[in-house]
Structure 1
Amino acid sequence: MTTTPPATEELPTRSLLRHIRLSSADVVAAGGVAAIGAAFLLSPDHIEDGPVLCPFRALTGLPCPGCGLTRSWVYGAHGWWQESFSANPFGLVALAAVMTFVVLVVVRRARRLSPPSLDKMLRHPLAIGVGAIWLGYGLIRLALAI
C-alpha cells in the first residue's frame, strides 16, 4: 500500500521582490542615502585635497552653482558647520532636504503607501523659490570669479 505525501501549500510562483516596484522616488532616496553615507565616510581633514569633480569647473576654471556641495556635505556630516557654509551655503539646505526626503520615502513605504511624487515636490513653490535663489547665488559667484 502506497501512501501519498500530505498536500503541501504551493509556493507562490512570483517572488516577493517581483511585487515591489521601485519608483523614481525610491531610486533618488537610495542615491541620497549613498551620498550621505559617503559624506560620513570621507574625512573633512583632507576633503580640500581631492580632485575637481565638477565638469564645468574642470573645463572653465569657474565655479558652477553646485561647486562645493561635496565638501559642504562632508563638513556638515562631521559637524563642521562654518566650513560647510563656506564651501557652499546651499550644501546644508540640500543635505537637510535629502535627509527629509529619505525619511518621507521610508515612512511611506513602511506604511505601504505609494512614495511621494518627485514631480509634484519639485513643482512646489518653495522648491522653485529655493532653486531660483540657488541659481542667483551661482550667477553672482560666477560673475565675481570672472
Structure 2
Amino acid sequence: MSSTEVTAAIGVGGIVIASLLPAGGIEDGPVLCPFRAITGLPCPGCGLTRSWVYLMHGDIGSSLASNWFGPVLILAILVLAVVAVRARISRRRPTDLDKLVRSPIILGFFGLFLAYGAVRLILTLTGVIDPI
C-alpha cells in the first residue's frame, strides 16, 4: 500500500468515526491537543474533531465555528480517497503523497491554515474571542 492509500484510509476512517460520535456531547470531551492542554490556547488544529463531528451530523454552522478548515480537510480526504481508488481500479500506483502535498495549491491551503491558527491565537490572547 502506498502512503497516499494509507493516508486516505486513515482519513476516511476518521470521517466514519466522526459520523458515529454523538454531536450532542462533543463539547464535553477531553482536550486532545497537547498545546491547548498545556497553554489553554488554541493551535491551528484545535476544533477539527468537533468540526468534523458537527459536519457529519449536518450542522455546518457549528462545524465552521469549531474550525473553518474542518470541512476543507474532509473534502481533501475524500478527494484523496477517490484518487487512490481510481488509481487502483486502473491498476496504476497512486500519485506519491509527497508529490501531492508539494503542489502549490496544497501549500497555499497549508499557509492559510497556519495563518488562520495565528489569527485565532492572537484574537484569543487579546480577548476578542473566547478560548475554545
TM-score by length of 1: 0.83
- Greater relative contact order structure (CA < 8 Å, 6+ sep): 2
Structure-to-structure mapping, 1:23-102, within 5 angstroms: 23-102=2-81
Identity between Structure 1 and Structure 2 (%)? 51
Pairwise CA RMSD of aligned residues?
0.8
Q: Which amino acid aligns with 1:52?
A: V
- Residue aligning to 2:82: 103
Unaligned runs of 5+ in 2: 126-132
Secondary structure of the corresponding residue to residue 62 of structure 1: coil
Query: Following TM superposition, by how much is the alpha carbon of 1:58 offset from its aligned partner in structure 2, in angstroms?
Result: 0.5
Query: Following TM superposition, by how much is the alpha carbon of 1:135 offset from its aligned partner in structure 2, in angstroms?
Result: 0.4
Secondary structure of the corresponding residue to residue 46 of structure 1: helix
Q: How many corresponding residue pairs? A: 125
Moved over 3 A (4+): none
Secondary structure of the corresponding residue to residue 131 of structure 1: helix
Structure number with larger C-alpha Rg: 1
Structure 2 distance, partners of 1:144, 1:113, is 47
Higher percent of residues as helix = 2
Q: Which amino acid aligns with 2:108?
A: G
Deviations 1:94-125 (A, max 9, x none): 01101111111111112111012111111111
Contact 2:2 2:96 in 1 (8 A): no
Secondary structure of the corresponding residue to residue 44 of structure 2: coil
TM-score by length of 2: 0.91
Secondary structure of the corresponding residue to residue 45 of structure 1: helix
Structure 1 distance, partners of 2:2, 2:77, is 16
Unaligned runs of 5+ in 1: 1-21
Q: Which amino acid aligns with 1:88?
A: N
